[in-house]
Structure 1
Amino acid sequence: MTISRMLLAWLATSALVPATALAQSYAIPHEELGAVGHVAKIDPEFYWPGANYDPQVPSPKSVLGYQLGEAITPHAGILRYFEALAAYAPDRMKIFDYGRSWQGRRLIYATIGSPDKIANLAAIQADAQKLADPRKLGPGEAEAIIARHPAIVWLAYSVHGDEIGPAESALQLAYHLLAARGDPRLEAIRANTLVVIVPIQNPDGRERFINSNLSGMGLRANADSASAERDQPWPGGRSNHMMFDLNRDWFALTQPETRGHTDAVLKFYPVVMVDSHEMGSDRSFFFPPEAQPINPNVTSEQMALKALLGQNNGRWFDHFGLTYFTREDYDLFYPGYGDGWPTTQGTISMTFEQGSARGLVARRSDGTSFTFADTVRSQFIAVMSTLETASRERGRFVRSFYDFRRSAIAEGRSEPIKSYILPAQKDQASTDKLAAVLTRQGIDIGRATTSFSACGRTFAPGSYVISAAQPTKRLIRNLLEPDTAMDPKFVAEQQRRRRAGLGDEIYDVTGWSLPLLYNVETVGCTLDPVVTTVRADPTMIQPGKVTGSEAKAAFVLASGSAATSRFMARALAEGLVVRAMEGGFTLEGRAFPAGSLVINRGENGPDVAEKVANLAAATGAVVSGFDSSWVTQGPSLGSDKAVKLRDPRIALAWDSPADRNSAGATRYVLERKFAVPVTPVRVSRLARLPLNQYDVLILPDGEGNYAASLGEAGIRNLRNFVQNGGVLISLGSATSFLADPDIDLIGLRREQATLTEAEAKGRPGEAKAKPGSDGVAGINIPDEAAYRQVIAEPTREPTDLDGAILRGSTDPDHWLTAGLAPRLHMMVTGNQVFRPVTADVGANVVRFDGPDELRVSGIVWDDLRQQLAYKPAVSVQPRGRGYVVAFTIDPTYRGMADGLDSLMMNAIYFSAARASPIR
């Protein structure tokens, strides 16, 4: 029996089995455990020559059984090594838990510093909190703190699970800081800094990667990118368990890993922060300064300090003969990254990107190879350089943080918008959640206890007030303003590049305003309202309640609230009979909109009141009780327009070609926001699976070809599923599959790009080719404009949208959009534009607004703005006994588009209620 040495090393750390016992079991000499996959053993001095490590300090090899870089250390091994160091040097290192991953793995950070700093961590944190809020400092107190406060350097590793080198580098760094005796910089680093290490931000993704890597491991480590050990099966190791990219979740706060991490950062308020990543194998190493565009809320001092750190990194990389690049690809515009969000808090935060081995060894396209150990070393060198700079410039970094927070307060007092108000409104649950998300990021928010007047209008109790004159003012502007301005020169250059066929250089989304994504009204005021407030509650779901009478006849919930949708799902799961009203109605003088829910006493058991009260408290829903069911206007509670809902059985297409982010976000929205169970079904099984066991099948946004993956049998199965009463829902690019004329499951048709005015005039005239001519017909090209016309593609895709928030209108008369706001804000990416379904075929229940009202936030190129106007965002079409609901957008985008959650729930529940499945 044979087994790879890498597998033995992994078993030794993950199962916590002594390496010697494993070696004896498989008759492999113990000393060979360090040499994995025939990669040469690594000299400890490979990482930092002349370090002269103290032999009393536990080394990685003494704990893990191999030298760093010879094997990929699993999460359990990382914890084990950090615990070994903390046990050896408790006066210099402490470990803290900041949460658990979805799969229950510990999330930790370790503080490393001189004995006096570790003994006085509480005092250091208290000083950091004071610097973070200059409003609370007395005269001279700031200078005293700046004089004594260490430069807190926060080092976060491997937020993407298949970016394996950074976490390994964290082990080397911790060992070096505690054991090295030959590094002259360490005395100053220990004196001037407090180092905080988050060794791994995404343990679930890392374990997924290690498992796939080990399962493909052969006789020796294989550098071929096509080898099984380096070819990650869907969904890959990048994302967490819920398939989220954690590096884009910093202000959305949808994932437990991010929520715990941001909470921990706000306890220390570091002055320097590094988020260590990996990138494609053909690339070298990136560190700041960043590329354009730069977020306008970043200060010039922050950019100067980033340059200072980068220059020192460059000197050390030159010293070791390592290549790198700056000011390319990685910008500083979107504040949802692990470097962007801390930057808005005043931290000098940076992304490091190392070309990844994605295994133990990688071959670049030029034929050269490098090892996993090489990547560990580069990350280690870059971080040691960062610590050196932070130590040398301790006072400047600490003062920069304090000045950032202090100047933010001053700007908030002097700029035109002095405060923001989130009015108490119909969807109060979403407003409450938005306030909670903002509060969790250190923003001071007050909830009004009385009504008040401001900015020319009156606001009800429960409205939220956010003053701009606070230390988080720049974060507030980023998250609450409808639009964040991008440098006009940069935008103009992107326009030029597009016209030249070069594509733009925008890295990620360009619009992200949280009130827009939540579909929550925000009012910017030129003054601070005078009103008594209490501090906003950071709880995401506030308890709901039952109001009115004893409800001898019925309970009613107004539609249009996320809380109502949560209640609906939970109530149906618990067996209550729930009806949705197709039209608005008036009961005991109160008007309720279409889509409102009714729970009739006579259709439910004797404990219905208790169940309703418990559900209201758990979901945040506001329920009204009525002693009479006599409706004075609109449909009666027992009419055919009071549609009985069912608890649908939902299947979600899983695995390729589904996009992992869309599949994960869809599952997250349903299961975690609304407690709706979902059955993930691999696309490869849909061809032969009896789909009649489900009521709803969701196809997420795709990254491949659904038609090819399903084949004729799969397509036929989908068609039969709908014909026999199923509901088929497509998101984003999956709609292109359904709209393909050869598939024709929805009457939408995808469009090519529209012609520009110049293109519409036609190309230069062509002479007719003579019969038998071997050449093409001749043309005259009189000028460069004509030349551009000649080389233009005869047909092309619409302009690609990097990510912007667009406005759309809902159909007030259709049951699918019943009760929703008349206008919605939608995150739109990609280049899919569809011709609407005709009225005889289906309904376009949400459409984009006109060209002048369409864009709300972000960069939308003019040609796409014109073409998208009045095009469908959601269409529904009956087919046989079932329905097809096609979203041309992805309403579950990154799990943060809360304003579209009720639309998604309507598509599932209201469609399923109207279908007539064959049982």
Structure 2
Amino acid sequence: MKQLLHFFIIALISSYSISQNLKSPSEFLGYEIGTEYSRHSQVIDYFEYVTKQMSENVILNYYGETYERRPLMYAVLSSKNNIKDIEEIRLSNLEVLNDKPKSINNKAIVWLSYSVHGNESSSTEASMQTLYYLLTKNYDLLENTIVIIDPCLNPDGRDRYANWYNQVRTMPYTSDKISKEHSEPWPGGRANHYLFDLNRDWAWLTQIESELRLKEYQRWLPHVHVDFHEQGIDEPYYFAPAAEPYHEVITKWQREFQQAIGNNNARYFDKNGWLYFTKEFFDLLYPSYGDTYPTYLGAIGMTYEQAGGGIAGLGIINSEGNNLTLVDRIEHHTVSGISTVETSSLNAEKLNNEFVKFFSYKDKKTRNYILNGDKDKINKLGEFLKKHKIDFYSTKEQKLNAFSYNENKSVSYTTKQGDIVVPTSQSRRKLVDVLFERTTKLSDSVTYDITAWSLPYVYGLNSYLTDKEVKKLDYKKNEKVNLHDKSAIAYATIWNEIGDAKFLSSLLSKNIRVRHNKKDIQTGNLYLSKGSMIIYKGDQVVENFEEILFKEAKNFNIELSSIYSGISNSGPDLGSDSVELIKNKKVAILSGNNNQNSVSSLNYGSIWHFFEQELKYPLIHLNIKDFNRISLDKFDVLIIPDGYYGSIGNERSLNKIKSWIYKGGNLIAFEDAIKIFSDKEGFSVKIKKINDSKKQEVNFENISRNNIQNYLSGAIFKIKIDETHPLAFGYGSEYYSLKTSTSTYELLDYGFNVGKIESLNNNNIIGFVGDKVKNKFKNSLVFGHERIGGGNIIYFVDNIMFRSFWENGKMFLVNSIFYIN
């Protein structure tokens, strides 16, 4: 024991002689940390400097770039011996995925993530301080611990905030919140380039930062993950343990170790006289957070929240009269981070043993999720599962008893060759259950986010759950092969999935002329449902159009069928008015804010991202402050995202919009943008009102809990669809919609109720909906279409673009652009 102690003392002295020459962030940057906002490039410079100075203790990994080309990177730090064996340690840790690992790792792996929200800015500064302290005065913690530090998950958002603040701040800074430096302009620095909340994207991976980060996270699978945030300026510090509800897959050990970490944090905060709270607000349910997603992969996933945010700047006076400084905020995050590493280091062996248990599955009962539906949608789900390293298989015909998601009961089902099977007999079984479960069990109905997200509904697939053994075959993607057909007068393809929309957009950009049928067609042996794309050879003006057509069909995995006659067996002929040319549209969207209007940056960002990264179709962005001087006659389609609108709904602006629609313009209104037109002359949309005359006496301390009776954070509703309407082409008579707002509207008297809620039985609602608000949704509008003169207005009461992960809703938006004329 004395020899071992002697060895550690020598090692520490040796490391100290090197690290004592290491510059602190303040020394390197030339200003005291917390007295200025560091730009992302400066943070990178410091991490590179430390890596160069202590190359035997630190490895810097660059893993990609943001949309604005800023580097994404993380540092791996540990003792010299651990860094020397780092690849062996990493691979040994991943042995847990083999159910019965050959050996159990004895090193704790802790991942610290900073600034997923760019304007919660203290944490990136704290990442530099934490790096420095772990390599100097807290070096001993690295003897049995690997620490991974990602200093900034959202460089684009953070630089947006930091650069703005550095431009407008006073010198010295003003702590009075009335000062300009405490009033961040739209859209703020919280979100990334496309204005997505990256802390809601861990599971859905819609953004490049999330997708690239997960690849690295999967390479390590840390035992502990901390996501550092900021909250309101009047809140004390928050750390684990989390609030209820906890998802039921979270283990007893994960709960207990959160408490152990919280206890150690509390010890340091008590010593320094810093206020804090635990077990409130921040629960562990929704799977796409930086605390929950790691938790469902075996980690102790936690959120830490420091008072601050975009309003705080370098310092601000809060409601208690205290000056909340950036210096203090950095110190709090630094202490909690190092405290977490300390607790993990002291419990490295236990962490590893429990990690092995979490992933063990061979002695567990196996269940199989079976998914059936459109092959392209199944392919898309398969791509999603691969990113999460979730195993899935094809199967063959087999009759069995299974629970039907759509019918909400057990049925007899015969599997088909095109079905896929996702078994729970795999190491990531708990993540599988969380993502696929139909109904999530709530231990507490007061939750921070949506309560339903089941993947079968996200992708528009039928799903069945069985504990019976299902035959599993290697999955093969459905690859389409097309052949040139000289005898064909036209080619056609069915319209039912977002890949079809991307194909259309690409053809239009290359001047290939495309038609669609507004009625079902039978031509020879080919059946074309409404909305199918028809590429008629006689329409084309591009000489090599077939070469382009087949190349694009291969790129988007589109199956082309030949048509040999313009006369149809049933339905309209190809020359009918019901087979309409799809025209290129000039599409605009409102953005920004002014004194009386504010566009939802999240909704705007999701639509922007969809057009630019998925559909790859031009979108013109209009600043709402310029609305009065913009001529709408330049545009075919105007999209008004969700938001708050004051002056846009006044008589002058409304007349301008109405005149443009009368002349043939198409307007698309999302969520609260519908209120611009509701109960206004010339528009038939009306807010649905429910008279609730019953008063209930409530104790003061129960007010918040009583309010959840009027609450809807996010639930899935079964919607009745008019599948004959162009807005619904590619859909069936039923659609499962994610509803995130309690705003409801009456069915249209003069228009088309394309999507509506008819009944509210248990089969039709998945997730939590407050008892008092539930009845509002019965016989309410979800998707509407109103003709006004020569134009149209489309109402999307539900946000089909919510966080861009609800894949099955996106075709409604495409239809509203290209198929509504």
Asked if these proteins are the same fold (TM beyond 0.5), I'd say: yes
> What is the match of residue 429 of structure 2?
473
Is 1:746 the counterpart of 2:680 in the alignment?
no
> What is the match of residue 8 of structure 2?
none
Is 1:64 the counterpart of 2:29 in the alignment?
yes
What CA distance in whole angstroms lies between the structure 2 residues aligned with 1:551 and 1:471? 53
Identity %: 27
Is 1:681 the counterpart of 2:622 in the alignment?
yes
Instruction: Report Cα offsets for 1:403-425 as digits up to 9, x if no partner.
Output: 1111x453343xxxx111222x3
Select the residue among 591, 594, 601 that pairs with 2:537.
601
What CA distance in whole angstroms lies between the structure 2 residues aligned with 1:145 and 1:814? 59
> What is the match of residue 4 of structure 2?
none
What CA distance in whole angstroms lies between the structure 1 residues aligned with 2:576 and 2:684? 32
What CA distance in whole angstroms lies between the structure 2 residues aligned with 1:644 and 1:318? 71
What CA distance in whole angstroms lies between the structure 2 residues aligned with 1:872 and 1:550? 48
Instruction: Report Cα offsets for 1:248-284 as digits up to 9, x if no partner.
Output: 0111110111111111111011001111111111111
Give the secondary-structure state (helix, strand or coil) at the position aligned to 1:633: coil
Shift of 1:451: 5.5
Summarize the alignment of residues 364-763 of structure 1 with structure 2, pairs less than 5 Å apart: 364-406=318-360, 408-413=361-366, 418-423=367-372, 425-426=373-374, 428-448=375-395, 455=401, 456-487=412-443, 490-491=444-445, 505-534=446-475, 544-546=480-482, 549-550=485-486, 552-604=488-540, 605-656=542-593, 657-702=598-643, 704=644, 706-708=645-647, 711-741=650-680, 744=681, 746-755=683-692
Preserved contact between residue 709 and residue 771 of structure 2 (Cα < 8 Å) = no
Shift of 1:895: 0.4
Give the secondary-structure state (helix, strand or coil) at the position aligned to 1:72: coil
Give the partner amino acid of 2:787: P
Give the secondary-structure state (helix, strand or coil) at the position aligned to 1:631: coil
What CA distance in whole angstroms lies between the structure 1 residues aligned with 2:627 and 2:452? 36
Give the secondary-structure state (helix, strand or coil) at the position aligned to 1:739: coil
Is 1:108 the counterpart of 2:73 in the alignment?
yes
Select the residue among 760, 764, 768 that pairs with 1:859.
768
> What is the match of residue 161 of structure 1?
118
Query: What is the TM-score of this pair, normalised by structure 2?
Result: 0.92
Instruction: Report Cα offsets for 1:134-159 as digits up to 9, x if no partner.
Output: 15x3xxx2xx424xx31000000010
What CA distance in whole angstroms lies between the structure 2 residues aligned with 1:611 and 1:724? 35
- Answer with 1 or 2: which has the greater Rg: 1
Give the partner amino acid of 1:736: K
Shift of 1:815: 2.2
What CA distance in whole angstroms lies between the structure 2 residues aligned with 1:291 and 1:254? 27
> What is the match of residue 217 of structure 2?
265
What CA distance in whole angstroms lies between the structure 2 residues aligned with 1:824 and 1:545? 30
Give the secondary-structure state (helix, strand or coil) at the position aligned to 1:885: strand
Instruction: Report Cα offsets for 1:82-121 as digits up to 9, x if no partner.
Output: 0000011111101111221111111101100111221222
What CA distance in whole angstroms lies between the structure 1 residues aligned with 2:765 and 2:480? 32
Preserved contact between residue 288 and residue 350 of structure 1 (Cα < 8 Å) = yes
Preserved contact between residue 545 and residue 613 of structure 1 (Cα < 8 Å) = no
Preserved contact between residue 752 and residue 798 of structure 1 (Cα < 8 Å) = no
Shift of 1:910: 0.9
Change (3 A) 1:849 1:608: farther
> What is the match of residue 97 of structure 1?
62
Instruction: Report Cα offsets for 1:224-252 as digits up to 9, x if no partner.
Output: 22322121111101000111000001111
Root-mean-square deviation over aligned CA pairs: 2.3
What CA distance in whole angstroms lies between the structure 2 residues aligned with 1:671 and 1:544? 26
Instruction: Report Cα offsets for 1:49-83 as digits up to 9, x if no partner.
Output: xx999441132133211121111111101100000
Instruction: Report Cα offsets for 1:615-667 as digits up to 9, x if no partner.
Output: 21222322212333331011111100011111111111101211111100111
Instruction: Report Cα offsets for 1:738-769 as digits up to 9, x if no partner.
Output: 2142xx4531100223437x57xxxxxxxxxx
Select the residue among 131, 136, 158 that pairs with 2:96.
131
What CA distance in whole angstroms lies between the structure 2 residues aligned with 1:861 and 1:855? 15
What CA distance in whole angstroms lies between the structure 2 residues aligned with 1:69 and 1:544? 57
Shift of 1:524: 1.4
Give the partner amino acid of 1:468: T
What CA distance in whole angstroms lies between the structure 2 residues aligned with 1:543 and 1:647? 29
Select the residue among 806, 811, 835 that pairs with 2:722.
811
> What is the match of residue 231 of structure 1?
183
> What is the match of residue 201 of structure 2?
249
Q: Which runs of 5+ in 2 are unaligned?
A: 1-15, 402-411
What CA distance in whole angstroms lies between the structure 2 residues aligned with 1:603 and 1:837? 38
Instruction: Report Cα offsets for 1:567-603 as digits up to 9, x if no partner.
Output: 1222122211111111111111222211111110110
What CA distance in whole angstroms lies between the structure 2 residues aligned with 1:718 and 1:555? 39
Shift of 1:454: 5.2
Shift of 1:698: 0.4
Give the secondary-structure state (helix, strand or coil) at the position aligned to 1:533: coil
What CA distance in whole angstroms lies between the structure 2 residues aligned with 1:338 and 1:353? 13
Instruction: Tell me whether 229-238 or 623-632 shows the greater mean CA deviation.
Output: 623-632
Change (3 A) 1:65 1:447: farther
Shift of 1:834: 0.5
Preserved contact between residue 587 and residue 630 of structure 1 (Cα < 8 Å) = yes
What CA distance in whole angstroms lies between the structure 2 residues aligned with 1:111 and 1:855? 48
Change (3 A) 1:170 1:905: same
Preserved contact between residue 161 and residue 206 of structure 1 (Cα < 8 Å) = yes
Select the residue among 185, 199, 205 that pairs with 2:157.
205
Shift of 1:818: 2.5
What CA distance in whole angstroms lies between the structure 2 residues aligned with 1:485 and 1:686? 46
What CA distance in whole angstroms lies between the structure 1 residues aligned with 2:633 and 2:329? 50
Summarize the alignment of residues 325-344 of structure 1 with structure 2, pairs less than 5 Å apart: 325-344=277-296
What CA distance in whole angstroms lies between the structure 2 residues aligned with 1:746 and 1:519? 32
> What is the match of residue 10 of structure 2?
none
> What is the match of residue 131 of structure 2?
174
Change (3 A) 1:550 1:396: farther
Preserved contact between residue 274 and residue 339 of structure 1 (Cα < 8 Å) = yes
Is 1:897 the counterpart of 2:783 in the alignment?
no
Shift of 1:293: 1.1
Summarize the alignment of residues 865-880 of structure 1 with structure 2, pairs less than 5 Å apart: 865-880=774-789
Shift of 1:334: 0.9
Query: What is the TM-score of this pair, normalised by structure 1?
Result: 0.82
What CA distance in whole angstroms lies between the structure 1 residues aligned with 2:688 and 2:488? 55
Preserved contact between residue 104 and residue 353 of structure 2 (Cα < 8 Å) = no
Shift of 1:799: 3.0
Instruction: Tell me whether 513-522 or 660-669 shows the greater mean CA deviation.
Output: 513-522
Instruction: Tell me whether 215-224 or 682-691 shows the greater mean CA deviation.
Output: 215-224
Preserved contact between residue 213 and residue 228 of structure 1 (Cα < 8 Å) = no
Change (3 A) 1:732 1:724: same
Q: Which runs of 5+ in 1 are unaligned?
A: 1-50, 492-504, 760-783, 915-919
Give the secondary-structure state (helix, strand or coil) at the position aligned to 2:710: coil
Preserved contact between residue 114 and residue 150 of structure 2 (Cα < 8 Å) = yes
Instruction: Report Cα offsets for 1:188-224 as digits up to 9, x if no partner.
Output: x121100000000000000111122123212321112
Instruction: Report Cα offsets for 1:879-919 as digits up to 9, x if no partner.
Output: 111100011111100001110111111011112xx2xxxxx
Give the secondary-structure state (helix, strand or coil) at the position aligned to 1:808: strand
Give the secondary-structure state (helix, strand or coil) at the position aligned to 1:229: helix
How many correspondences in the alignment? 783
Give the partner amino acid of 1:721: W
Preserved contact between residue 559 and residue 819 of structure 1 (Cα < 8 Å) = yes
Change (3 A) 1:107 1:842: same
